[in-house]
Structure 1
Amino acid sequence: MNAPELFDAVEIIATKRDGAALSPAQIAWVVDAYTRGVVADEQMSALAMAILLRGMDRAEISAWTTAMIDSGRRLDFSGLPRPAVDKHSTGGVGDKITLPLAPLVAACGLSVPQLSGRGLGHTGGTLDKLEAIPGWRAQLSNAEIEAQLREVGAVVCAPGDDLAPADRKLYALRDATGTVESIPLIASSIMSKKIAEGACGLVLDVKTGSGAFMKDLERSRELAETMVALGADAGLPTTAVLTDMDQPLGRTAGNALEVRESLEVLAGGGPSDVVELTVALAREMLELGGGGEADPAEALADGRAMDLWRRMIAAQGGDPEAALPTARHVEEVRATAPGAVTFEAYQVGVTAWRLGAGRARKEDAVQAAAGVELLVGPGEQVSAGQPIAALHTDTPERIPRAQEAFEAAVTVHATVDEARGVGPGSRILGRVG
C-alpha cells in the first residue's frame, strides 16, 4: 500500500493563488510529486500561473531552486586541479560567446564545464552551433566530462538527464502554458542546473532588449539580482553582467555561420562587440576563479585560445580542421535607400529561424548552414542598392518569408546621428554582484 502524500496539490495552488507564501516543505513536496507524476500537468500549470501572477519571495525561490536540484544528482568538480568556473547566457540573437569564451578561459588557467542547450524560436543554441562541426558530439557521460576537464581544461556539452530533471519537465510545461516570463521560475530554472553542475563560480550574461527574453532593462536587472542572490544562498559565488540585445551580436545568426565568426575571434579578429563581450566575461570568470592576473586579450592574440579550441573540439570527436557546411542557396538583400542602417535583433532572429537555422518545437531538426550574415554593421552608412545582408539556406522556398522578416528588421536612417546612437558602442550595460 502506498504511503499517503504529505500535502494536497489543490491546497498548495490555492495558497499561492491567494497571495500567500509557500513553506519550504510544501515546495519540496510539490516539486518532487510533480517529478514523480503524482501532481498532474494541469495542476502544475495552475501553480505556475499563480506564481507568475503572485510572485515569490526570496525564501520561496531559494526553496524552489533547492527542490529542483534535489530531484536529480549533483556533479562535483572540487577535485579538479584547477578551479571550475561556469558562464550562462539568458539567450539572444547571434550570441556565440560560449564558443570562444570556454577555450579562452581554460587557456588562462581555469576549468570550464559549460553545460549548454539547444535553440528554440528566435534564439540560437550553443549545441546546434557546435554540431555544425563534422564529428562533434554533444552527449558525454559525467566521467567523460571530468576526464576532458582534467586533460583539456574545457568542455561544452549537453547536461545529463539526471541533472535537475524536475526543471526539464517544468520548462516544457511553462513553454506551453504562457508562464515562461515569471522571474522566480526563470531564475530557479537557470540556477538549479548551474548549482547542480558543481562549479566554484558562475558568471551570468543577462541579455536585455528586443532580441532577448527580457525586453526591459529593469526586469533584466531584477532577474540578475534574483539569480545572484540564489547563488549566494547556495554558496556559489555568482556575478551578473547586463548586456544589450537590441541589435544582433556580431555579424551572423545561424549555426555554421556563428562557428566561423567565433573562429575569427579566436584567431585575433572578429567583430568588435563579440570580442569585447568575450574578453569582459572572461575577466569576470577569472576574477571568480582566482586567475585574475591572466590577460584574456593576450590569450586571444597569441593563439593559446585557438590551440585549446582545437583540443576541445577534437576531444569530443570533432575535426577542427574540417570545412564547415555551406548553404546551397544564398540570397543577397540590398538597401532600398541611402542612409545609416540598423537591425532589430528579434526580427533578425526570426529571419534565421525561417531560413532553417532554428526550431519551433524541441524535436525539430535544424540546418547547419542556414542563417543571416550581416554585410554591414549597425550604424554604418550605406548607399541605395548596396548589399547589406546575405540569407543562407538549403531550402530556397524559405526565402520569401525570411525576406519579410528581414525587411521588418532593417531601418535605414537619413543620417548616422538619426540611427539612435546604435553602432560600435559598448554592449555592457551594468553589473550585479
Structure 2
Amino acid sequence: MSSVEAFDVVDLIRTKRDRGELSTPQIDWLIDAFTRGYVADEQMSALAMAILLNGMERREIRDLTMAMIASGERMSFASLDKPTSDKHSTGGVGDKITLPLAPLVAVFGVAVPQLSGRGLGHTGGTLDKLESIPGWRAALTNDEMLAQLSDVGAVICAAGSGLAPADKRLYALRDTTGTVEAIPLIASSIMSKKIAEGTGALVLDVKFGSGAFMQDYERAEELARTMVALGTDAGVATTALLTDMNVPLGLAIGNANEVRESVEVLAGGGPADVVELTLALAREMLTLAGQPDADVEGALADGRAMDVWKRMIRAQDGDPDAPLPVAKETHVVTASRDGVLATQEALPFGIAAWRLGAGRARQQDPVIHAAGIDLHAKPGDAVRAGQPLFTLSADDAARFPRALEALEGAYTIEDTAPPRGPIVRARIES
C-alpha cells in the first residue's frame, strides 16, 4: 500500500491564508489525515486561524461537516416506530430548557434523542444539571439509548466518543488557539454531531446577547442560517429560533437549582420566560415531526410531561423524588433603593455562578451541584430598599467575594425600566 499522501497540508494552509477555496477531495483528505494524526496540531491550528480570518463558502462548510461525520460512526433510529426530533442550544445563562422540553415533546409520540454535553466556563452543561439528581447516569450504550427511546420516548445522555471524533480533536485545538468564534468551525462542529446522531428533525436555539456565545445579533443570525443550510443539505428537517440571552433565563442559575426550576415548569408553574421558550421550541420540534397542532400547553398543565420526566429519570437510575443537594452557605444581596430593576446582565451572573462552583474552568474539574444563584426579581419588577434581589449559594463562603466582584455593575435599579422585547426574536428556515 502506498504511503504517499494525496495532498500537502502546507498547500491547503496557504490556500485559505490567501482567501482561496479548498476542494471537496482536499477537505476529505484533510479531516482523514488529521484524524489519523498525519496532520499535526500546529498545522490544523494554522488552518483554523486562516478559516477564522477568511471564512469558507457554503460548499466548503458542507464538505467539512460531512468529512467530520465520516470520521466516526453514524447512529440510526430507523428501528423506532416513531419520528425523531432534537434540539440544540448554543448555550447561555440559566438555560435549562432541555430538561422540561424533552419529556414534553415525547408526550406526543415523537422520540427525543438529546445527546448533551458538560458546561465549560460560564455556560452550564445539561449533564451537570441532571447529575444533581441522586443516582442519575449520563453514560448509556447505543442499545440502552434506543431501548429508552422506544419505551419512554426521551433520553438525555452523553454523546458517545464514536460520533465525529475529528470534531473532538479540532474543538480542543480551537479552545486553546483563539479560533472558537469561527462560524464555519462552530457550524460544522455542532452539525456534524447532530447529523451523525441520526435525528430526523432538528431545531436550533441560537442565542444572542450578553450571556450568549455569539453576543452580536447579526453574527448569531449568520451562524443560524449556516447551520440550517447544513442540516437541510444533509436531509435533516432543520429550523432555528434566534433567542435573547441578554438577561438570565428563569430565576435559577446553577445545577440543582435549575433542576428544581425545570420540575416547577413540568408541574405547570415556573418562570414565564422559561415556559415561553419551552413551549416555542416544543411547537417547532413537533411541527417538523408532523404534529403542528399538538396541545403543548395542555401536556404541561395536566401532568403528562411530568410523568414522562419521572420515567426518563428512573430509566437512567435516577430518583426523581429524592431531595436535591443544598449548599452549606448562602449570601443575600438586597436592593439599595426603591425603584424598578432596570438591567440584569446575563454574562456577569453566569461568571459569578461559575466562581461559586457551579461551572468548571477545565474539562476535568468537578462542579458543585448545589452552588449557584437564585434571582428574586427580573428586569421590569418593582423593588423596595432592603428587598432581596438574589441569593448566592456555595459550599465555601470564601467563594462569595469573587462572585460579588463579577456582579459589580451587572444590575441597576432606576425609576423606570426600558421595555423588554420578545425572547424569540426570529425564526429561520431554509
Q: Give the TM-score of the pair, scaled to structure 1.
A: 0.98
Q: Which residue number in structure 1 is paired with residue 348 of structure 2?
A: 347
C-alpha distance after superposition, 1:334-366 (max 9, x if no partner): 112222212100000001000000011111110
C-alpha distance after superposition, 1:213-249 (max 9, x if no partner): 1111111111110000001110111000000000000
C-alpha distance after superposition, 1:59-101 (max 9, x if no partner): 0000000010000000001221110111000000000000000
Q: Which residue number in structure 2 is paired with residue 432 of structure 1?
A: 428
Q: Supply the AA of the counterpart residue of 1:301.
A: A
In the alignment, the residues of structure 2 paired with residue 310 and residue 126 of structure 1 have an alpha-carbon distance, to the nearest angstrom, of 17
What SS is found at the alignment partner of 2:45?
Answer: helix
Alpha-carbon shift at residue 293 of structure 1 (Å): 2.6
Alpha-carbon shift at residue 2 of structure 1 (Å): 5.9
Q: Supply the AA of the counterpart residue of 1:303.
A: G
Q: Which residue number in structure 1 is paired with residue 59 of structure 2?
A: 59
What SS is found at the alignment partner of 2:257?
Answer: helix
Q: Which residue number in structure 1 is paired with residue 418 of structure 2?
A: 420
What SS is found at the alignment partner of 1:356?
Answer: helix
Q: Which residue number in structure 1 is paired with residue 273 of structure 2?
A: 273
C-alpha distance after superposition, 1:90-142 (max 9, x if no partner): 00000000000000000122000000001111100000000000000000011
Q: Which residue number in structure 2 is paired with residue 10 of structure 1?
A: 10
Q: Which residue number in structure 1 is paired with residue 117 of structure 2?
A: 117
Alpha-carbon shift at residue 197 of structure 1 (Å): 0.6
Q: Which residue number in structure 1 is paired with residue 307 of structure 2?
A: 307
Query: Matches of residues 43-54 of structure 1 in structure 2 within 5 Å?
Result: 43-54=43-54
Q: Which residue number in structure 1 is paired with residue 102 of structure 2?
A: 102
In the alignment, the residues of structure 2 paired with residue 299 and residue 10 of structure 1 have an alpha-carbon distance, to the nearest angstrom, of 56
In the alignment, the residues of structure 2 paired with residue 399 and residue 49 of structure 1 have an alpha-carbon distance, to the nearest angstrom, of 38
Moved more, 330-339 or 156-165: 330-339
Moved more, 3-12 or 40-49: 3-12
Q: Supply the AA of the counterpart residue of 1:427.
A: I
Q: Supply the AA of the counterpart residue of 1:399.
A: F
In the alignment, the residues of structure 2 paired with residue 35 and residue 393 of structure 1 have an alpha-carbon distance, to the nearest angstrom, of 41
In the alignment, the residues of structure 2 paired with residue 57 and residue 81 of structure 1 have an alpha-carbon distance, to the nearest angstrom, of 38
Q: Supply the AA of the counterpart residue of 1:368.
A: H
Moved more, 112-121 or 378-387: 378-387
Q: Which residue number in structure 2 is paired with residue 177 of structure 1?
A: 177
Q: Which residue number in structure 2 is paired with residue 400 of structure 1?
A: 401
In the alignment, the residues of structure 2 paired with residue 408 and residue 144 of structure 1 have an alpha-carbon distance, to the nearest angstrom, of 48
C-alpha distance after superposition, 1:367-387 (max 9, x if no partner): 000001001122211122211
In the alignment, the residues of structure 2 paired with residue 136 and residue 378 of structure 1 have an alpha-carbon distance, to the nearest angstrom, of 35
CA contact (8 A) 1:273 1:426 kept: no
What SS is found at the alignment partner of 1:408?
Answer: coil
Query: Matches of residues 339-378 of structure 1 in structure 2 within 5 Å?
Result: 339-341=339-341, 342-378=343-379
How many residue pairs were aligned? 428
C-alpha distance after superposition, 1:170-196 (max 9, x if no partner): 111101111011110110000000000
Moved more, 241-250 or 72-81: 72-81
What SS is found at the alignment partner of 1:102?
Answer: helix
Q: Supply the AA of the counterpart residue of 2:4.
A: P
Alpha-carbon shift at residue 271 of structure 1 (Å): 0.3
Q: Which residue number in structure 2 is paired with residue 391 of structure 1?
A: 392
Change (3 A) 1:408 1:363: farther
Q: Supply the AA of the counterpart residue of 1:223.
A: L
In the alignment, the residues of structure 2 paired with residue 101 and residue 177 of structure 1 have an alpha-carbon distance, to the nearest angstrom, of 35
Query: Matches of residues 323-338 of structure 1 in structure 2 within 5 Å?
Result: 323-338=323-338
In the alignment, the residues of structure 1 paired with residue 313 and residue 226 of structure 2 have an alpha-carbon distance, to the nearest angstrom, of 34
In the alignment, the residues of structure 1 paired with residue 270 and residue 108 of structure 2 have an alpha-carbon distance, to the nearest angstrom, of 20
Q: Which residue number in structure 2 is paired with residue 30 of structure 1?
A: 30
What SS is found at the alignment partner of 1:407?
Answer: coil
Specify every segment of 5 or more residues in structure 1 that has no aligned partner in the other structure, as ranges: none
Alpha-carbon shift at residue 426 of structure 1 (Å): 2.4
Q: Supply the AA of the counterpart residue of 2:16.
A: K
Q: Supply the AA of the counterpart residue of 1:429.
A: R
Q: Supply the AA of the counterpart residue of 1:151.
A: D
Q: Supply the AA of the counterpart residue of 2:58.
A: R
In the alignment, the residues of structure 1 paired with residue 322 and residue 349 of structure 2 have an alpha-carbon distance, to the nearest angstrom, of 28
C-alpha distance after superposition, 1:400-423 (max 9, x if no partner): 0001112332111222xxx2223x
Q: Which residue number in structure 2 is paired with residue 409 of structure 1?
A: 410
CA contact (8 A) 1:121 1:358 kept: yes
In the alignment, the residues of structure 1 paired with residue 104 and residue 409 of structure 2 have an alpha-carbon distance, to the nearest angstrom, of 36
Matching of residue 234 in structure 1 with residue 234 in structure 2: yes
What SS is found at the alignment partner of 2:94?
Answer: coil
Alpha-carbon shift at residue 318 of structure 1 (Å): 0.2
Alpha-carbon shift at residue 292 of structure 1 (Å): 2.1
CA RMSD of aligned residues (A): 0.9
Specify every segment of 5 or more residues in structure 2 that has no aligned partner in the other structure, as ranges: none
CA contact (8 A) 1:109 1:291 kept: no
Percent sequence identity over matched residues? 65
In the alignment, the residues of structure 2 paired with residue 333 and residue 27 of structure 1 have an alpha-carbon distance, to the nearest angstrom, of 53
C-alpha distance after superposition, 1:280-338 (max 9, x if no partner): 10000000001223211100000000000000000001001100001001110111222
Alpha-carbon shift at residue 4 of structure 1 (Å): 1.2
